[in-house]
Structure formats: structure tokens, C-alpha cells
Structure 1
Amino acid sequence: MSLPPLATVEALTVRLGGEALAGADLARARAALDDVSALVRLEAGVDWVAADAATITAPAAVVAVVLAAALRGYRNPDGFQSESVGSYSYQYAQGSTSAYLSDAEIRIVKAAATGRARAYSIRTPPAYEWPTQPRAPWEAP
């Protein structure tokens, strides 16, 4: 039994501009969502499906990752990296042409799977701390 995708075609359609998909475009969108959902489940080790085998229980951050990765694949199915027409030139981000997860997306998925988000702190010096004076070359450190 195959698992349902972690995001809906409707959610992907919204990110594509809202026009309804049909025919080959709809099939491509479903395939992109299936492929990315499989990759996310592989990274997470969690299927995020309720006991009814239809309800998705994935956190919103995981759904966002699935949609972002599926959107990449849907918008550039042939893996074009750049195009030029006259003075117009456009270059896609470098990367795989198949479904893939970026390093940042993998970190998000793993954090969601373990339930542990990373906490970061940044040390900033006090506003009134005087900078150290530079030493003359002949002074000892």
C-alpha cells in the first residue's frame, strides 16, 4: 500500500499561482509530491499518516518543505540551468534535476521528526565595551 503525499495538489496549485491543474500537469504535480514525500519520509524515518491511512499528521514545517521541493521539480522538470534570448538571460539555481532536498530542508525534517529544534544564541558585545587598543609593533603581546 502506498502512502499519500504529505502535501496536497491544491496547496501546490496555490504556490503556482492558483490556476487549476489538469491532465499531464496534474499528473506531474502529483508525481512531484509523491517523490518528495518519499524522500522526506526516508530522511525522517516517520510516515506522518494517521491510523486511517489517509489523514496526514506531518507538522506544518514538513509540509512546507514538501511543497518547496515539489515546486522546484514541477517548475523545472527538464533540469534546465539557464536560458538566453537576445539580451535576456536567466539562470536557475545549480542542483539536481530530480526530486531532492536541500541541506536546510533535511535539517528541518530531522528536527520535526525528533521533536527537537535547535536553539541558537548569538553573543553581542555590550554597547559600552571599549575596543582594545592596537599595539605598536615593538610592544610585546
Structure 2
Amino acid sequence: MSLPPLATVAELQTRVGGTITGPDLNRAVAALEDVSSLVRLEAGTDWVAADGVTITAPRAIVTVVLAAAGRVYRNPDGYQGETVGAYSYQYAQTSTSAYLSTDEITIIRRAASPAASSGVFSLRTPSAYESPTPSEVDLA
């Protein structure tokens, strides 16, 4: 069974400004699915409830998915530059598929492991008043 995307097309529509229909709808769904897979891989969790449909991801994760999917949706050909006078353009020098930025990966890791980034730690130190065990005493 395929997991649902971590964000909806309706949420992506809000960010790109307009209704997504026809072939563009298919591209939007594919972008959301691709980015959701990358986020799940990075996080090590699927953020789906037991019903297999309800998304349980924190809002920060949804925001990351929408930002990355928006990049893929808005620029499917991977253009990096364009000049209007004496028209020219340039394709990306690297992959044009879905990707996560370094900042997005940091957000995903923090959201996936909130305890690790909370700064609350426990450390046990031995008491100075405990008697040493026989193996710790130098009998020589």
C-alpha cells in the first residue's frame, strides 16, 4: 500500500496561487509524493495514523514538503537562468528532481526527534562518598 503525501494539493495550490487542474494536477501530486518520500526517508518515520490515511506529521514537516514540492512544481525543467534581450536560457547543472535543502533536512531531523534537540539531558556521576569496591583498592 502506498503512503499518502504529507501535504495536500489544496495546500500546494494556496502557495503557488491558483487552481491546479489537468496535467498540472498530476505533476502536483507527483511532486508531493516524491518530496514526501524523501522526507520520510530522512526522518525515519511515516507520520501516518493506523488508519493508513490520516497524516500525523508536525506542521513544520508539512511546511517543508510544500516548499520542496513547490520548487519541483514551479520549475519542472530545472531552469537556472534566463535572459530576455537576445534570448538565452540555462538548464540546471545538477539534477532537476525533488530535493531537500540543508535547512530543510535540519528541520526534518528536529521534528523527527524532538527529544534529541530539546536540550534536556540526564547524566549520572558517581558519588564521592561511595566506598570503593575491592577491585578498586590497590593491595600492593
Q: Fold match, TM over 0.5? A: yes
Partner of residue 102, structure 1: 101
Q: 2:55 aligned with 1:61, yes or no?
A: no
Partner of residue 50, structure 1: 49
Cα distance per residue 1:36-55 (max 9 Å; x no partner): 00000000000000011000
Mapping 1:1-141, distance limit 5 Å: 1-17=1-17, 19-86=18-85, 96-116=95-115, 118=117
Amino acid at match of 1:74: Y
CA distance in 1, matches of 2:5, 2:19: 18
TM-score normalised to the size of structure 2?
0.76
CA distance in 1, matches of 2:70, 2:116: 25
C-alpha spacing 1:71/1:117, structure 2 compared with 1 (3 Å):
farther
TM-align CA RMSD: 2.5
TM superposition shift of 1:92: 9.5
TM superposition shift of 1:20: 1.5
Amino acid at match of 2:104: E
TM-score normalised to the size of structure 1?
0.76
Structure 1 unmatched runs, 5+: 121-141
Amino acid at match of 1:2: S
SS at match of 2:97: coil
Structure 2 unmatched runs, 5+: 120-140
C-alpha spacing 1:73/1:46, structure 2 compared with 1 (3 Å):
same
C-alpha spacing 1:42/1:21, structure 2 compared with 1 (3 Å):
same
Q: How many residues align?
A: 119
Cα distance per residue 1:72-97 (max 9 Å; x no partner): 01010001110111189999998641
**Structure index of larger Rg:** 2
CA contact (8 A) 2:79 2:89 kept: no
Amino acid at match of 1:14: T
TM superposition shift of 1:115: 1.4
C-alpha spacing 1:54/1:72, structure 2 compared with 1 (3 Å):
same
CA distance in 2, matches of 1:102, 1:25: 24
Percent of aligned positions that are identical = 67
CA distance in 1, matches of 2:82, 2:57: 37
Amino acid at match of 2:28: A
